[in-house]
Amino acid sequence: MYARFARPLLFRLEAERAHHLALGGAALAGRLPGLTALIAGQLARPDPSLMQTLWGQRLSSPLGLAAGLDKNAEAVPVFTALGFGFVEVGTVTPRPQPGNPQPRLFRLPEDAALINRMGFNNAGADHMARALHGGRHAPVWVNLGKNKQTPNEQAAEDYLQSVRLLAAYADGFVINVSSPNTPGLRSLQAADELAELVGAVLSEVRARRPALPVLVKLSPDMQEADFAASVDAAAAAGVSGLIVSNTTLSREGLRGVRRAEAGGLSGRPLEARSTALIAQSYRLTAGKLPIVGVGGVSSAQDAYRKIRVGASLVELYTALIYAGPTLPARINAGLAGLLRRDGLTQVGEAVGADVRD
């Protein structure tokens, strides 16, 4: 249905207009009484084998929505109804900001990929606090960034300010130091700076909500030794988990006509790289730190591959644009089938199965 009817119409629009139209529709659907329950009845019934409890949170599916799609937490109920086990909203900055000039989002259909240089366009942490007021059917994590105008020396204060405004409403926080579209942001993931930032955010969160998980989202573009140092630093600082990975600046092997656009590349071309980094992270942390695998997941097989090399959870964004709203339910069903095929009764048993000694 989506591939035959909705996608051709949406893809005729400029990419960001299509995004706002689809997200606006989802937000509206979320406000219509009974509609999300109806959708959830069709799509959000993950097999019990997909259930896990992490950080005291019950996750009905290991598949979550990656950050950047619902930047202002406008449509959480609908994403939950589609079968996502958790939703990551943001990136949010303490003060609202417009992001980069448009156009800033590009489709590369030949590569099943997107390039974006949105630049953390968002309505600010106050606005998000209001949007997250109220109940929910799945955990909602808030991805935190710094405002473009904030110099790196004061970046920590931006993260802390958002924590103060949002701790009462979030089920977890993600420290985003890996988006390529905020100048200087990625230098915060260097080991020393990262340790300091993670320590500061953790104590701010612990003072308010001791049980909330705090994760760090890393870039796929670091040198191997630097990546290892950042993982070690985050782990030593006491982070609750890692998200691997954000978009890449690499343009290797692309065919799409928009491949020269500046920004972060997501989707299929990122799949193998992010999977390799998940395996590396799992080894570096000896399987002790939950890893959220993200990058180019478009099928149950892709998700399962990431789980088997060490991801406890997986997320996606780009594939939803290409495959449409029934994708999470299809991935859930496929994952349950793969677990059965391998004689496993719970998804947790598959985590890291291919890299354990």
Q: Annotated active-site positions, please?
A: 179
Task: Please report, for the chain, how many H helices and E strands are present, in that order.
Answer: 12, 13
Beta carbon of residue 238, minimum distance to ligand FMN (angstroms, whole number)? 21
Q: Does the protein bind ligand FMN through residue 97 (CB under 6 A)?
A: no
Site string for ligand FMN, 193-232 (x = CB under 6 A): ------------------------x---------------
- SS3 per-residue string spanning 39-62: HHHHHCCCCHHHCEEECCEEECCC
How remote is the C-alpha of 120 from its chain's centroid? 14
Cβ-proximal residues to 292 (8 Å cutoff; 6+ apart), any chain = 64, 215, 241, 242, 243, 244, 311, 312, 313, 314, 315
Which residues sit opposite 106 in a β-bridge?
Answer: 115
Please pick, from the candidates 80, 161, 230, 247, the single residue that binds ligand FMN as defined by CB under 6 A: 247
> Of 96 and 344, which has the nearer Cβ to ligand FMN?
96
Residues from 30 through 49 that contact ligand FMN (CB under 6 A) = none
> Of 195 and 294, which has the nearer Cβ to ligand FMN?
294
* Residue position matching structure tokens 């140092």: 229
Beta carbon of residue 229, minimum distance to ligand FMN (angstroms, whole number)? 21
Please pick, from the candidates 49, 93, 150, 318, the single residue that binds ligand FMN as defined by CB under 6 A: 318
> Phi, psi at residue 168, to the nearest 5°?
-70, -20
> Do 184 and 143 contact (CB within 8 A), yes or no?
no
Please pick, from the candidates 100, 266, 281, 332, the single residue that binds ligand FMN as defined by CB under 6 A: 266
Q: Does the protein bind ligand FMN through residue 93 (CB under 6 A)?
A: no
Beta carbon of residue 12, minimum distance to ligand FMN (angstroms, whole number)? 19
**Cα 14 to Cα 102: distance, rounded to the nearest angstrom:** 10
172-176/214-218 β-pairing: parallel
Residues from 132 through 191 that contact ligand FMN (CB under 6 A) = 143, 176, 179
* Residues recorded for the chain: 357
> Phi, psi at residue 33, to the nearest 5°?
-55, 130
**Cα 343 to Cα 279: distance, rounded to the nearest angstrom:** 22
> Of 282 and 322, which has the nearer Cβ to ligand FMN?
322
**Cα 256 to Cα 307: distance, rounded to the nearest angstrom:** 29
Which region, judged by CB under 6 A, interacts with ligand FMN, from 27-35, 112-120, 228-236, 280-288? 112-120
Residue with the CB atom nearest ligand FMN in the bound state = 68
Site string for ligand FMN, 54-83 (x = CB under 6 A): ------------xxx--x------------
The CA dihedral of 253, 255, 257, 259, to the nearest 10 degrees, is -20
> Of 49 and 117, which has the nearer Cβ to ligand FMN?
117
Total site size for ligand FMN, rule CB under 6 A: 27
Tokens matching residue 60: 């009905």
> Of 49 and 332, which has the nearer Cβ to ligand FMN?
332
Residues at the interface with ligand FMN (CB under 6 A) = 66-68, 71, 91, 105, 114, 116, 118, 120, 143, 176, 179, 217, 246-247, 266-267, 270, 294-297, 316-319
